[in-house]
Amino acid sequence: MKRMPASNRLREQKLSRVLMIAFAVVVLLGVIAQITMMAQLSTQSKQTYALRSESKELTSRIQNLNRSLDQFHNRERITARALKLGMQLPDETQLRVVNLPGLSYSTTAQSAENTGAGEME
């Protein structure tokens, strides 16, 4: 086996060092890129979790509001509340059927106190 001249050996050692440094830089950049991607994924995962939690909370709130709204549309509850406030159902003398000109339907029921109990014109 022949021995290489010293200059060739020095050149190969320098090339070897340069290649090792280049390889180390590439590996280091790859690790930094991986860490950056993992940080972004973690942030996105946290944001997704927060949005899902908010969505569940809002869905629950919608359901609660719909239940509350249903309670306010309950006819018995409305009647009881009206009576508690001093309101009362109109009797026969307070209820009149009136023809209103210009409306597409023929009659409407109007509640009004008519002490004379006569026809309204």
Residue 16: pLDDT band (50, 70, 90) is very high
Handedness of CA 35, 36, 38, 42 (dihedral sign): positive
Q: Is the dihedral of CA 26, 30, 31, 33 positive or negative?
A: positive
> Which amino acid would we find at residue 2?
K
Q: Among 109, 113, 110, which Cα is nearest to 93's?
A: 113
Each residue of 32-90: pLDDT tens digit?
Answer: 999 999 999 999 999 999 999 999 999 999 999 999 888 788 888 888 889 999 998 88
User: Hey, how many other C-beta atoms are within 10 angstroms of the C-beta on 96?
Assistant: 18
pLDDT (0 to 100) of residue 101: 72
The pLDDT, as a whole number, for residue 25 is 97
- Is the confidence at residue 121, as pLDDT, over 70? no
Rounded to 5°, angle at Cα 116 from 112 and 119 = 70
